[in-house]
Structure 1
Amino acid sequence: MTTQELISQINQKKSFLCIGLDVDLTKIPPHLLALEDPIFEFNKAIIDATHHLCVAYKPNTAFYEAYGIKGWKSLEKTIEYINKKYPEIFTIADAKRGDIGNTSSMYAKAFFEDLGFDSVTVAPYMGKDSIEPFLAFKDKHTIMLALTSNQGAFDFQTKEIGDRELYKHVLETSKNWRNSENLMYVVGATKAEYFKEIRKIVPDSFLLVPGVGAQGGNLKDVCKYGLSKNIGLLVNSSRGIIYASNSNDFAEKAAKKAKELQLEMKEILEKFKK
Structure 2
Amino acid sequence: MTTQQLTEQILKKKSFLCIGLDVDLHKIPQHLLEEEDPIFAFNKAIIDATHQLCVAYKPNTAFYEAYGLKGWKSLEKTIQYLNQNYPEIFTIADAKRGDIGNTSSMYAKAFFEDLGFDSVTVAPYMGKDSVEPFLAFKNKHTIMLALTSNEGAFDFQTKMMDGKELYKQVLETSKAWRNSENLMYVVGATKAEYFADIRNIVPNSFLLVPGVGAQGGNLQDVCKYGLSTNVGLLINSSRGIIYASKQEDFAQAAAGKAKELQQEMEVILRAKL
1:128-168, Cα deviation, whole Å (9 max, x unpaired): 00000000000000000000000000000000001110000
Q: Distance in 2 between matches of 1:10 and 1:34?
A: 36
Matched AA of 2:244: A
Determine helix, strand or coil for the equivalent of 1:203: coil
Q: Distance in 2 between matches of 1:232 and 1:5?
A: 12
* Residue equivalent to 2:126: 126
Please say if 1:28 is aligned against 2:28. Answer: yes
Please say if 1:108 is aligned against 2:130. Answer: no
Determine helix, strand or coil for the equivalent of 2:177: coil
1:6-39, Cα deviation, whole Å (9 max, x unpaired): 0000000000000000000000000000110000
- For structure 1, the 5+ residue unaligned runs are none
* Residue equivalent to 1:78: 78
* Residue equivalent to 1:248: 248
Quote how far apart the aligned CAs of 1:103 are: 0.1
Quote how far apart the aligned CAs of 1:124 are: 0.2
Matched AA of 1:211: G
Matched AA of 1:58: K
* Residue equivalent to 1:154: 154
Q: How does 1:33-72 map to 2 (within 5 A)?
A: 33-72=33-72
Please say if 1:196 is aligned against 2:196. Answer: yes
* Residue equivalent to 1:267: 267
Matched AA of 2:248: N
Determine helix, strand or coil for the equivalent of 1:231: coil
* Residue equivalent to 1:183: 183
* Residue equivalent to 1:136: 136
Quote how far apart the aligned CAs of 1:171 are: 0.2
Structure 1 length-normalised TM:
1.00
Determine helix, strand or coil for the equivalent of 1:49: helix
* Residue equivalent to 2:18: 18
* Residue equivalent to 1:237: 237
Determine helix, strand or coil for the equivalent of 1:110: helix
Q: Distance in 2 between matches of 1:259 and 1:103?
A: 40
Determine helix, strand or coil for the equivalent of 2:10: helix
Matched AA of 1:26: H
Q: Distance in 1 between matches of 2:170 and 2:164?
A: 10
Determine helix, strand or coil for the equivalent of 2:190: helix
Matched AA of 1:109: K
Q: Distance in 1 between matches of 2:236 and 2:243?
A: 14
Q: Distance in 2 between matches of 1:22 and 1:253?
A: 16
Please say if 1:220 is aligned against 2:220. Answer: yes
Quote how far apart the aligned CAs of 1:190 are: 0.1
* Residue equivalent to 2:92: 92
1:99-137, Cα deviation, whole Å (9 max, x unpaired): 000000000000000000000000000000000000000
1:165-197, Cα deviation, whole Å (9 max, x unpaired): 000000000000000000000000000000000
Quote how far apart the aligned CAs of 1:40 are: 0.1
Q: Distance in 2 between matches of 1:3 and 1:225?
A: 20
Q: Distance in 2 between matches of 1:99 and 1:127?
A: 9
Matched AA of 1:143: I
Determine helix, strand or coil for the equivalent of 2:81: helix
Q: How many residues align?
A: 273
Matched AA of 1:207: L
Matched AA of 1:43: N
* Residue equivalent to 1:257: 257
Matched AA of 1:244: A
- For structure 2, the 5+ residue unaligned runs are none
